[in-house]
């Protein structure tokens, strides 16, 4: 496949490797035969280019040749130890140019029940498992056919999450604590493909950050997503760490004020990322060694217990009743919960009840019931212990939550 650049098109880039920078530019001649500038550029460089005209490129395993061979000017994703920086040259910074005019929003949340609805059209439920005042953010960036989401959460949260039907999400965990559980498996992968409409269970540590690249399945007609698992890890050979860093820099650029962008660059960004998603999906299809996460026996047992709790009044649920209904020994139930959620079934049931109480207290229509009534409805019959558990988890007394909710009604 070839790409044609018009006369006068300018390529501008800065490349960094082993502490050495090299900046270059090439201009398409107005005459006959064109020659790319800096043909001796080594394969150690990672592409970051300022697109200022009708230039198109892709990032990924394949390099597409144009009239000016891109493989000699812009070696793409060649080495994992190469880092990039933005070329300012005599122009505006690349990040600034990319961020202009992109439709981005950022929301800050102070309760898991609010943040679970922060990802547009996702079906999710969050339960706070860690201790401390919750704070999370969701930033949504839309350009072309793609939606990019950055999510941060400061405390440990248990999640059931499902992207919108008819989409796929490429998920890039970017937090320092890389270990987390997905469907009962401890994973440290740099990226996953999550098929829309299929729910998974996730438990993460505190101070989590992740990026989601959301694509409509109709924009990927060459792939049959019925053959994909709900969630599949991405092979590290695709240099996902660099991809994640590139996405992070894109979000960082959107936070700069007074930025404008031509529609042309917006289209280029969309095509770059869409091609990258296709590379990832092709790798999954072609390599039998990349298997989806099917879930463990412990995870299936946890789901069975969760369905039973959902079908009955969880205000009076206990570990003893769960073991009796599921006909399993207590230590088997405990192992299933610890492996899937990171906490014991007793603690999980308590946190679920606290979550139910907090949702009621944050709802102006229910907060008027008062602390005692809400505690009783959620299965807490000792009000002092309830207040202690609540304050330990959420960083404030339940009466404070109710007063704050009623004051803004």
Q: 150: closest CA among 123, 119, 127, 113?
A: 119
Tokens linked to 376: 């009783």
Please check whether residue 344 is in contact with residue 375, taking contact to mean a CB–CB distance below 8 angstroms: no
- What pairing do the DSSP bridges indicate for beta strands 167-173 and 192-195? antiparallel
Report d(CA 294, CA 287) in Å as an integer.
17
For 340, the token pair is: 């899937």
Whole-model pTM?
A: 0.73
Provide the residue-wise pLDDT of the chain in tens; the chain has 409 residues. Answer: 433 333 333 333 333 333 333 333 334 334 444 434 333 332 332 233 333 222 333 333 333 333 323 233 223 333 222 222 222 233 333 333 333 445 578 899 999 999 999 998 999 999 999 999 999 999 998 877 889 999 999 999 999 999 999 999 999 998 665 567 899 888 888 899 999 999 999 998 889 999 999 999 999 999 999 889 999 998 876 678 778 887 887 777 643 433 344 455 667 778 878 888 998 999 888 876 667 777 788 999 999 999 998 888 666 788 999 999 999 999 999 999 999 998 999 999 999 999 999 999 999 999 999 999 999 999 999 999 999 999 999 999 999 999 999 997 6
H helices, E strands: number in the chain: 13, 16
Task: Give the pLDDT confidence score for residue 361 in this predicted structure.
Answer: 96
Given the structure tokens 């073991």, which residue do they identify?
Answer: 323
Alpha helices in 91-198 (DSSP H): 94-99, 112-115
Residue 331 has φ and ψ, to the nearest 5°, of: -70, -30
CA distance 339 to 298: 7
Show the domains of the chain with their CATH numbers: 1-91 (no CATH), 98-286 (2.60.120.10), 297-407 (1.10.10.60)
DSSP state letters, 318-332: -HHHHHHHHT--HHH
Distance CA 387, CA 373 (A): 13
Locus of tokens 């529609």 = 263
């Amino acid at each position: 496949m070839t790409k044609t650049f018009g006369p006068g098109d300018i390529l501008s880039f800065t490349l960094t490797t082993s502490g050495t920078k090299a900046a270059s530019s090439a201009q398409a001649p107005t005459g006959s035969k064109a020659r790319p500038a800096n043909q001796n550029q080594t394969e150690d460089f990672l592409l970051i280019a300022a697109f200022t005209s009708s230039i198109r490129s892709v990032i990924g395993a394949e390099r597409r040749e144009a009239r000016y061979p891109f493989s000699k000017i812009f070696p793409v994703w060649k080495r994992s130890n190469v880092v990039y920086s933005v070329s300012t040259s005599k122009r505006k910074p690349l990040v600034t140019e990319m961020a202009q005019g992109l439709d981005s929003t950022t929301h800050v949340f102070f309760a898991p029940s609010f943040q679970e609805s922060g990802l547009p059209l996702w079906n999710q439920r969050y339960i706070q498992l860690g201790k401390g005042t919750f704070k999370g953010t969701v930033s949504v960036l839309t350009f072309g056919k793609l939606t990019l989401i950055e999510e941060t959460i400061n405390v440990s949260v248990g999640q059931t999450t499902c992207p919108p039907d008819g989409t796929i999400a490429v998920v890039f965990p970017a937090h320092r604590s890389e270990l987390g559980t997905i469907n009962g498996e401890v994973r440290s992968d740099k990226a996953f493909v999550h098929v829309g409409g299929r729910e998974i269970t996730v438990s993460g540590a505190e101070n989590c950050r992740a990026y989601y690249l959301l694509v409509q399945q109709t924009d990927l007609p060459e792939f049959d997503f019925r053959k994909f698992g709900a969630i599949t890890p991405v092979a590290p050979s695709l240099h996902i760490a660099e991809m994640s860093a590139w996405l992070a820099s894109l979000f960082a650029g959107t936070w700069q004020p007074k930025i404008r962008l031509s529609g042309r660059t917006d289209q280029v960004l969309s095509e770059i990322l869409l091609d990258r998603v296709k590379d990832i999906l092709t790798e999954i299809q072609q390599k039998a060694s990349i298997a989806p996460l099917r879930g463990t026996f412990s995870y299936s047992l946890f789901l069975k217990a969760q369905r039973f709790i959902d079908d009955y009044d969880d205000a009076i649920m206990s570990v003893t009743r769960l073991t009796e209904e599921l006909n399993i020994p207590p230590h088997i139930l405990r192992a299933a919960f610890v492996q899937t959620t990171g906490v014991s079934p007793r603690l999980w049931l308590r946190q679920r009840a606290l979550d139910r109480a907090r949702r009621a207290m944050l709802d102006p229509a229910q907060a008027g019931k008062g602390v005692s009534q809400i505690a009783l409805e959620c299965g807490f019959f000792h009000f002092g212990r309830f207040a202690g558990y609540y304050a330990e988890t959420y960083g404030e007394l339940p009466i404070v939550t109710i007063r704050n909710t009623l004051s803004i009604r």
